[in-house]
Structure 1
Amino acid sequence: MEPSTPRRRRPGRLRAVAVGGLVLATLALAVVATLGLGGRDGRQPAAARSAPAATAPVTRQTLTRSVTLAGELGYGAPVPLTSLATGTVTWLPRVGATVRRGEELLRADEQPVVLLYGALPMYRPLTVGLQGTDVRQFERNLAALGYRGFTVDDAFSASTTTAVKRWQHDLGLPETGTVDRTRVIYAAGPVRVAQRLVPVGASATGAVLAYTGGTRVVTVSASAGEASWAKKGTRVTITLPTGASVTGQVSTVAAPAAPTAPTAGQGPADAERPGTGNATVQVTVAVADQRKLGQLSYTPVDVRYVAQQRKDVLTVPVDALLALAEGGYGVELAGPGGSRILPVRTGLYADGRVEVQADGLAEGLLVGVPG
């Protein structure tokens, strides 16, 4: 019997085995990618995952997204002051002066026109026998200036006439007992002279001054589309040029004005500071604690308001998020036995953190972050 010879494997079969092994390996990699078990780019196999190089804790907190606008600290928009007095302007207060109740706003033919506080304009002369809200408003001012002997009510009585004569004597006016409508101008409170609109020697009838309130405020300009946050009472944080911060509150929001063409040298709006472009809505912010403003006035400030807020939510650093191959995001949960990928639902992004939700996610767990 002839010795048997070994059987040779045909080359074609070897190639088939090699090709089959390659197909299985490719399918295995595809399954890993489909399950989203890769690294931060979705390509590292999950079976080889070890503890991440660096971790950060999952925290429970209030997440707030704020927007900062450009503002101006000053005294608000000037308002023209119209005098009804006849004759010639013989004196005007200096620009920047504050005029209070009972003090002179101007002199016409060397007779004073004084400031009183109230909402009603001086629309008629006041004399004995008249009744009305305007009488009560005047008598309230007379009493605030220290004059006595009459009752503050809607009736201009004989005792009111006596008090008016004393007031006129102190002002150097003829003691008629009748309040001349050209000698009184009403405003809501103390006024600060912003501009002289006429020189001394001009006619005393018409707009002679422009004034603002005596309290510093912040004004913010924003387009109509950016002003939905601005409602009366909205609280904001004002950052001063010194770096100090003070709390403010929206007091008024002007009606949207027609768009204006950009002025020479004006660039497009800054996306990071939405109030810096061509603006159409004027927002006024009141500052209750004027002492914190120091001596500052007519200076740029930053105004920050809360655009979105989520209370008591779980958050992780934004760079802890992993893009999953099947879409969406996950985080790498680190534990004693290694790590695993947990898909999460994201919410609000703010201050470098993001709101996340997932079954099995809890405060204090560690998630992987770039080392």
Structure 2
Amino acid sequence: MPGTLTQLPASGDRITRGKPLYKVDNKPVTLMYGSVPAYRALKTGTEGPDVEQLERNLAALGHTGFTVDEEFTDATADAVEEWQEDQGLPETGAVELGRVVFAPAAVRIDSLAAAEGDAAGPGGKVLSYTGTDQVVTAALDVADQRLAKKGAKVAVAFPDGTSAEGTVVEVSTVIEPGEGGQDTEPETRIETIVELDAGKGRKAAAAFALASVDVSFTAEERKDVLTVPVAALIALQEGGYGVEAVEGTATRYVPVDTGLFADGRVEISGDGITEGMTVGMPE
């Protein structure tokens, strides 16, 4: 839309339906939700899916009195005039090209490509935006590909020590040229996209856009097993491991079979290994 940019958002701002992305000649260019890009003026007599998505937005913003379909009728024009009045726009009953921007959902301003006072016009880039879903990109070695399963739960640790759970929503193989150019083997890695769970995770991530985080994948899981601190394991002379079972004032060494190691503990099993038994620890 030709004119002068008079108001711009800040990088990181979140814009929702019905709110201005920016202003040209002090008039808003408004965000609405939809998958069809704005490509023409919408007015009485216009038909098509872009008309229907405009009408859905008008209804969501409280402007009713028309049927949501692909026909721009006189009733649609009346609702547009109400919307234009709320926006401080001339009440024409038609939506000129460039007055609204359609995006699938709320957006987050990524960067600005213009400044207030610059001229705006067809084909000129004003800003770029992303979706508002909080996601984390995690890279794995090819040897760890078995961990990268779509739908797998992971733990994400943020720089301030807080953590949240997430779900792997996308897995892809990335091949990049070697650092030495054509004479070196390409480098391959597994890249995963993790979507943070709603609530605490997304709130925490909002403060760490573009920050590095630690992502923990679960290689395997055991339920209803017995564990002891790894430091409780003792290497036996005959081979293998055991634990020092404490029974009153007496102790004895009990051979064990080890299972998974995680968080400083190890799964153990074997004859004489029971829940609640006391094991010795090095001083």
Provide the rounded CA distance (Å) in 2 between the counterparts of 1:302 and 1:367.
33
Does the 8 A contact of 2:32 with 2:101 survive in 1? yes
Q: State the match for 2:81 in structure 1.
A: 165
The 1:236/1:114 distance shift into structure 2, 3 A limit, reads same
State the one-letter code of the partner of 1:318. Answer: V
Provide the rounded CA distance (Å) in 1 between the counterparts of 2:237 and 2:63.
84
Query: Are residues 1:209 and 2:127 paired?
Result: yes
More divergent stretch after superposition (124-133 vs 182-191): 124-133
* Structure 1: runs of 5+ lacking an equivalent: 1-84, 263-277
The 1:282/1:251 distance shift into structure 2, 3 A limit, reads closer
Give the alignment of 1:282-361 within 5 angstroms.
283-286=193-196, 288-289=198-199, 293=204, 296-298=207-209, 299-335=211-247, 339-361=251-273
The 1:324/1:293 distance shift into structure 2, 3 A limit, reads closer
Provide the rounded CA distance (Å) in 1 between the counterparts of 2:279 and 2:208.
48
Q: State the match for 2:276 in structure 1.
A: 364
Provide the rounded CA distance (Å) in 2 between the counterparts of 1:339 and 1:260.
60
- The C-alpha deviation readout for 1:6-45, integer Å capped at 9, x for no partner, is xxxxxxxxxxxxxxxxxxxxxxxxxxxxxxxxxxxxxxxx
Q: CA deviation at 1:294?
A: 10
State the one-letter code of the partner of 1:356. Answer: I
Query: Are residues 1:91 and 2:1 paired?
Result: no
State the one-letter code of the partner of 2:127. Answer: L
Give the alignment of 1:92-241 within 5 angstroms.
92-96=7-11, 97-108=13-24, 112-171=28-87, 173=89, 175-199=91-115, 200-201=118-119, 203-213=121-131, 217=134, 219-223=136-140, 225=142, 228-229=147-148, 231-232=150-151, 234-241=153-160
Provide the rounded CA distance (Å) in 1 between the counterparts of 2:205 and 2:260.
37
* Structure 2: runs of 5+ lacking an equivalent: 180-187
Aligned pairs, number: 268
SS in 2 for 1:115: strand
SS in 1 for 2:119: coil
CA-atom RMSD in angstroms: 3.7
Provide the rounded CA distance (Å) in 1 between the counterparts of 2:230 and 2:254.
15
Provide the rounded CA distance (Å) in 1 between the counterparts of 2:81 and 2:195.
42
The 1:368/1:146 distance shift into structure 2, 3 A limit, reads closer
Query: Are residues 1:281 and 2:191 paired?
Result: yes
Provide the rounded CA distance (Å) in 2 between the counterparts of 1:102 and 1:170.
10
Alignment TM-score, normalising by the size of structure 1: 0.58
- The C-alpha deviation readout for 1:87-107, integer Å capped at 9, x for no partner, is 344334132344332233234
Provide the rounded CA distance (Å) in 1 between the counterparts of 2:120 and 2:48.
35
SS in 2 for 1:161: helix
Q: CA deviation at 1:150?
A: 1.3
Return the index of the structure with the highest Cα Rg.
1
Alignment TM-score, normalising by the size of structure 2: 0.73
Q: Percent identity?
A: 40
Higher RCO (C-alpha 8 Å, min separation 6): 1
Provide the rounded CA distance (Å) in 2 between the counterparts of 1:92 and 1:186.
19
Q: CA deviation at 1:364?
A: 2.6
The 1:292/1:191 distance shift into structure 2, 3 A limit, reads closer
State the one-letter code of the partner of 2:198. Answer: A
- The C-alpha deviation readout for 1:257-280, integer Å capped at 9, x for no partner, is 443778xxxxxxxxxxxxxxx987
